[in-house]
Amino acid sequence: MTSRIAVFSLEARNARIPSPGRSFHQTSAPHNSVLDALKNLASGRTKSDDFSHSRPVLAPAPFKINREEDLRFHPTAIVCDPIPVIPFNGPGRDEKRAKSSKRHDMSHGVEIITTPTGDTAGTTLIFRTSSKHYVFGSMAEGIQRATVQQGVRLLKAQDFFLTGIANWKNMGGIMGMMLTLADSSTSSYTTAMEIFREAQKRGKKGAGPQKPHFDIYGPPNLKHMLGTCRRFIFRKGLPINTTEYGNHVPEKDENGAILPTWQDSMIKVWALSVSPTVSEHNAQAEAELESRRRHFDAKLNTFAGFQAPENESPEAREVRYDQIRTATIKFMFDSSWSFDTLVERHISEVDMPAAMFIRDPATKGFQPYHGPKPGGLDPLPDITVWTRTPWPGAGILALPPTKPAPESISYIAKSHPVRGQFDVASAKALGVIPGPDYGKLTNGISVKNAKGELINPNQVMGPDRPGQGIAILDVPSVEYVESIVRKEELSSPDVMTGIRAIVWSLGPGVAGHPVLSDFMEKLSDVQHFVSSVDTAPNRVSFNSVAGQATRLNLIDPKRYSTLVFDSTEVPQKSVHRTIPARTSSLPPNVFAADRGMTFTLMPKFEAHKETATPLFDPETARKEASPEVLELAQKAQKTLRQHRGEMLMWRQLLARPDTEITTLGTGSALPSKYRNVSATLVRVPGVGNYLLDCGENTLGQLSRVFSHEEFVDVLKNLRMIWISHLHADHHLGTTAVIKAWYQVVHNGVPNPQTLGNSTDGIDIKSYGLSVISHRGMLQWLNEYSSVEDFGYSRILPLQLTPNEKGKSSKLSVLNSFEKLESENPSIHRREFEQLLGFEDIQSAHVAHCHGSMAVSFTFPRSPSDPQDVKPLKVSYSGDCRPSYHFGRIGADTTVLIHEATFDDELLGDAKAKKHSTTSEALGVGEKMNAKAVVLTHFSQRYQKIPVLQPVEDEQADDLLPEDATEDVVDDEADVDPTTENADNMDIYPAVAAPNASASGPAKPMSIPSLQHQPSTGERVIKIKNKDMKVAIAFDYMRVKTGDICEMEKFNDALNALLATEDEEVDAEGEVDGAGANANGKRASEDDGDAKANGKKKQKKQKDKCKRNN
C-alpha cells in the first residue's frame, strides 16, 4: 500500500477544486473552429479577429513531465477542471464581439435525435447555433448509432447536458460517445496543427489551434459513473470536465431575476434539479455506507494528497471525495503517462503480474529479470528491480463510496437577447452622417453628428428582442411530478420569456398525470411535446439495418426475419415497466415527440412536425432488393433441396444440433449503420442461454430480434454472460442486460444474503446469472452498483484462470476484491452443471490486450445425441491473433465462433492491431477439428464473402502457418491496453527489454507496418476439412448449429446484396471522425480509407449536412 500511495503523492498534492453545485461561467468557442481559423490563416487572413473566439491559454506545463508530476504544474483551481474558467461579470468584450459578429446570423434551432424505443432508451436533442452545437437529454446506449442513422454530425458539439437521474438507462452511451468524439477531435486537431505549421513556414502569423476538450453536465454520481470506467478508458491530453448539479436554491441578481446556471457567448442554460416529493430514510443503508467510507479511507484511498484529516466534517469529506473522482477522470483523459517510464523498487514491493528488469553490471543497460518472483514458491533475492509504471487507472484501487442519487436534472436553454433593428430614419433625423458612423452605432459605440452632438446607440436602435429557446424536462416517475411543476424557474418571466416549446421526457405512467396536465394547460403559449413509452410506439430506430434485415429475409428466411417493431401500438411493452401499462390521452396543444422533429428558434420560432423521420416500411425495403439478388436467392433454395440428404448426414455429426446461435452484434470497434458491436447469444435447449460478450446496446438488439414474449423468455433462461476482455465495444451493454434480467427474474428485489467464503449452499434461485470475466470487469460491475441497483446482488461474479502450464482453468467467486486470488472460494467442477449448465469451461490467454481470453464450453451429453458423437462444445475467440493454446483447449469443438476482422489482403493490419484474418480464423477451426465455424467481428467496412473449396491435403491452403499463431508470454500480463507508441487500444505489445544501450527509459517499441492490399475479384480459400462448414454472420442472424451447412449456398446472393449496400455507405459516409475510436479503440485503417474515398455524396445527403452544420 505504501508504494501505491507514493505513486500518487505528487499527483494529488494540495489539489483543490470548486465545491459541487452552481457552475456559472463562460466557455470558449468549440474546438472545430480551429480548422476555420487556420484556413483563414493559410489564405493570408491574419487579423486577430479571425481567432476572436479562442479560449485564453494557460502557460504550457513543462514538456515531458512524468506521471508523478502530472498535476503539480497546474494551478490548484484547475487540477480537477483543467479548462480555464472565466467568472462571468456581465457582458464582456468577447461576448459583445460575439453578439456583434452574429448580428446577421441568428440561425438557432433544435432537432430531436431520439425518443424512447426498444433500442434507443432515452430522449436526446441537439441545440444548434451558427458556431456551436449543444446536446441535451439522455446519453443512452445506441446514441452513437442514432446520430449516424439520423445524419446528425457532432463536430461542433463540446457541451453535453445530461438529463434525468444518474443510471445506466440515461448514461450508458456516454462513454462510447466520448471515445468517438475524443478521437475524431484529436484527429481534427492534428490536421489543424499541420495546416498551422505549413502556414508558419510561409511566414504567416496568428494564434495556433486550440486543443480540444469536452464538458459534461449532469446529475450527482455522474463523476463516479465515469470514474468506474478507468480500467478500460485511457486517453492522453484531452480534458473532459464534469459538473454535477444537486439541489440548490436559484441565485438571483440585484433585481431578483434568476441567474442562469451556465452560459457562453451563444446560449444561457438553467439547470433544474428535483427530487421525489416523498423519500424514505434507510438508517441501515446509511450505516453501511458510513462503514464503507471509513474502510475506504483506512485501506483503499491511494491518493496521498486526499487523505482524511482528523475531525473532518461530512461536508468537507464530500468535497474531498469529489476531488478524488475528478482527479480520476483527469487520469483517464488528460494524463501524460508514458509506457516506457521505469521506476526502481525492491522486488518484494512489486505487484504481480509485472515485467521486471535489472541493470547489466557491465553495460549498465536493462535486461529482463527471470529469477524468483513475488507470489512464487522460491524465496526472493534482496535486490531492486525496474518496472514500468502502471497506467493511471490501474493504480486507483477504489473510488470513494457513494449511494444512488435521487436528483433528476432538467434544463431550460435559450439564446442571448438579439439587438434591435437600426432605425435609419431616426439616425437621419438626428443628423448622423451615413456610412461608418451607422456601423459604430450598431455596434454599441456612440458617435457625433454633423453638428458635433453626441448620439448614443439607444437613440437609433430598436428594443432588444428576447432570446428564444426550449426546455427539456425529465420526469422519471410520478413521484417527481409535484417537484418539477413547482420549480421557480418555470414560473419566472425572466427565464420563461422566449421559451416557446417544452419537450417532456416522461417515465412510464407519468404522461396524463392530472397535475402535469393542468400545468401544461396553464402554459398555453408554449407548445408541449411528450416523449414517453406511453405515448410513442416502438417504431424502428435504425432504418438502414432494418431494411437490410428485411432484404436478408428475402434471401434466407430461415435465418433472418424482419425486425420486431410496432409503429402504432401505445403504450409500448417493456421489461422495465413496474406499473401496469395504460394509454394516456394528451391534453390540447400537446403532441407526441418523434425523432427528426425540428424547431426553428431564431429569427422566428416555428415547430416543424413534418420533418419527423418517416416510419420504416418493410414492403418498401423488400422492393429495394434487385432482381439479380432475388434470382440468386431462388437458385440457392433450389440447391438446398438438391443437397438435402448430404446436409442431414452432416447434421448427424453434431451433438445438440438444435443449439441456436444469434449474432446480435457483428461489427468491430464502433456501431455503424449495418453492424452493432460484439455480442453473440447461444441458446442450448433444455440447458439455458449464454451471452458471449455484450457490447453497447445488446439489450436493444435482443428486443429487435425476439418478440416481447420470447425476449422475456430469453432473459428468464439467461445463465451466463462471458466477457472476453476489457475493450468497451465488448462489454458496455452488460449492465443493461443484467438490469433487464433482474427485473424479469427477481422483480428488481435485491438479494438479502451476501456471498460467503464458500460455495457450499449457494441457492441458485437467489442468483441464477453468472458473469465470468477478467477481475477488472467484475470490479467495474461491483463499483458501479453503488450508483444504481442494477442487480449486482443477484449475480455470481466469477473469475476464470487460463489453462496453462499443465493446469486446467479454475473458476472462483470474487466475493471480495481485496483478497488475493488464491483466497477466493473456488467452484468445483462437480458444481458446474447445477450452477452454470455446462460440464466444463477452459480458457486461454490470447494476444490482443491485457487480460484477453478465449474460451471453450463443454455441455452435458443429450440423450438424443449419437453415441459416437462427442458432447456439444462451443468455443469463442473474443478479439485476438490466432492462438495455439486456444486451438488446444478447443480440440473437437462442435462450433467455433471466431473473429475475422480483416480480409486476408490486410494481414499486416491484423498483426499490427492484434486481430485475425478470415483465413487465420478458419485455420484455428481446422486445428480444432471444428464441425462448424461462425465468423464475426468484421471491420465496419464491408468484406467480400469468401468461397470455401474443400480439397485434398496436398492442395489445401496453409491457413495457419506455424509462425502465424501469437500467444501471450509470461511477462505480457502487465501490459495495459494503451501504449505511448500505439495508435489504438487493440495493440497488445510484446514486452521487450528497454534499450540496452541506454541508461534511461526505453525507446518506443516497433509494431508491424500496416499493409493495405485491395481485394480484387472472387476470393477462394482451399480447406482440407471437408466436414467443416462456415457461416458468415450479420446482425440479427439466428441459426441452429445443425443448419450451418445450409448457409454457404446463399453466399452468392449475399455478396450481390451487400455490394449494393456497400455503395450506399460509400455515398452517404459514416460517423464523424471516420476511422476513429468508438469504444475504446480506433476503427480499422481500411474503414478510414474507405470513408476517405467516399466523399462523393448524394444531393440529399449534401442538403442534410447543410442543415446539420
CA-based nearest residue to 771, from 724, 810, 839: 724
Q: CA 278 from chain center: how many Å?
A: 34
The amino acid at residue 1019 is R
Helix axes of 698-705 and 708-716: crossing angle, nearest 10 degrees: 130
pLDDT for res 963: 58
Tell me the whole-structure pTM to 2 decimals.
0.84
Same fold, 108-279+465-611 and 627-752+763-952+1019-1065: yes
Please, what is the average pLDDT of the chain?
A: 82
Kindly report the number of other CB atoms within 10 A of residue 452's CB atom. Answer: 7
The backbone torsions φ and ψ at residue 721, rounded to the nearest 5 degrees and listed phi first, read -120, 125
CATH: 3.40.50.300, 3.60.15.10, 3.30.910.20, 3.40.50.720. Which one for 627-752+763-952+1019-1065?
Answer: 3.60.15.10
pLDDT digits (tens, 9 = 90+) for 738-781: 999 999 999 999 999 888 766 666 777 788 899 999 899 999 99
1066 within 8 A of 1093, measured Cβ to Cβ: yes
Q: Which three cell numbers stand for residue 128?
A: 444548434
Residue 779, classed as helix, strand or coil, is helix
Can you tell me the distance from the alpha carbon of 359 to that of 881, in angstroms, rounded to the nearest whole number?
Answer: 32
The phi and psi torsions of 771 (rounded to 5 degrees) equal -115, 115
Mean pLDDT across 404-408: 97
Q: pLDDT band at 73, cuts 50/70/90?
A: very low
Where helices occur in 167-251 by DSSP H, the ranges are: 168-171, 174-201, 222-227
Instruction: Tell me the residue type at 456.
Output: N
CA–CA distance, 357 with 344 (Å, rounded to integer): 9
- 599, β-bridge pairs: 110, 607
| Statement: residue 36 has pLDDT above 60 | no
> Span 141-156, mean pLDDT?
95
In this prediction, residue 817 carries a pLDDT of 84
- Residue 846's CB is within 10 A of a number of other CB atoms, namely 31
Segment 2-25, tens digit of pLDDT: 333 333 333 333 333 333 333 444
Give me 728's grid cell. 468497451
Domain residue ranges of the chain, discontinuous segments joined by + = 108-279+465-611, 342-388, 419-459, 627-752+763-952+1019-1065
Instruction: Output DSSP code: residue 871.
Output: P
Handedness of CA 578, 580, 581, 582 (dihedral sign): negative
Question: pLDDT tens digits, residue range 770-823?
Answer: 999 989 999 999 999 999 999 999 999 999 999 988 899 999 999 888 866 667
DSSP string of 206-268, one letter each residue: -PPPPPP-EEEEESTTHHHHHHGGGGT---BS--EEEEE--S-PPPB-TTSPBPPSEE-SSEE
Distance CA(873)–CA(851), nearest Å, equals 23
Residues 6+ apart with CB under 8 A from 603: 106, 418
Superfamily of chain region 108-279+465-611 = Ribonuclease Z/Hydroxyacylglutathione hydrolase-like (3.60.15.10)
Quick: pLDDT tens for 1054-1101.
999 988 776 655 444 444 443 334 334 443 333 433 333 443 344 444
Contacts of 898 (CB under 8 A, 6+ apart): 875, 876, 877, 916, 921, 924, 925, 933, 934, 935, 936
Distance CA 23, CA 42 (A): 37
Mean pLDDT of 649-660: 98
Which residue carries 472472387 as its cell?
1018
